[in-house]
Amino acid sequence: MENTSLKYKAFGDPLNELNLCQDAVHPLDPNEVLVEMISSPINPSDLIPIRGAYSHRISLPCIGGYEGVGRIVKVGNQVSPSLINQRVLPLRGKVHGKNL
């Protein structure tokens, strides 16, 4: 399975730095879930870190974005399968992707 995401490898103008990338989704750890994003907007607050305002707290490359909604499509073996298909709201950054 592959993930499609908006990544940046350097700080600067988001129009120049954000790139659509394909990456393999790593196998789930026992306590992890795989979330397929349904919607993840680009907001003005998402552009600030891409421009470098928080560069001391961000490791590059980085997936842009802080908000979105998705649904659980797969669970690790220590997670209840009843969570599959549940909608979720990620609370930490890096939500601009197809599968996270």
Annotated catalytic residues are 54
Q: How many CB atoms lie under 10 A from the CB of residue 86?
A: 13
Pairwise CA distance, residues 36 & 25, whole Å: 11
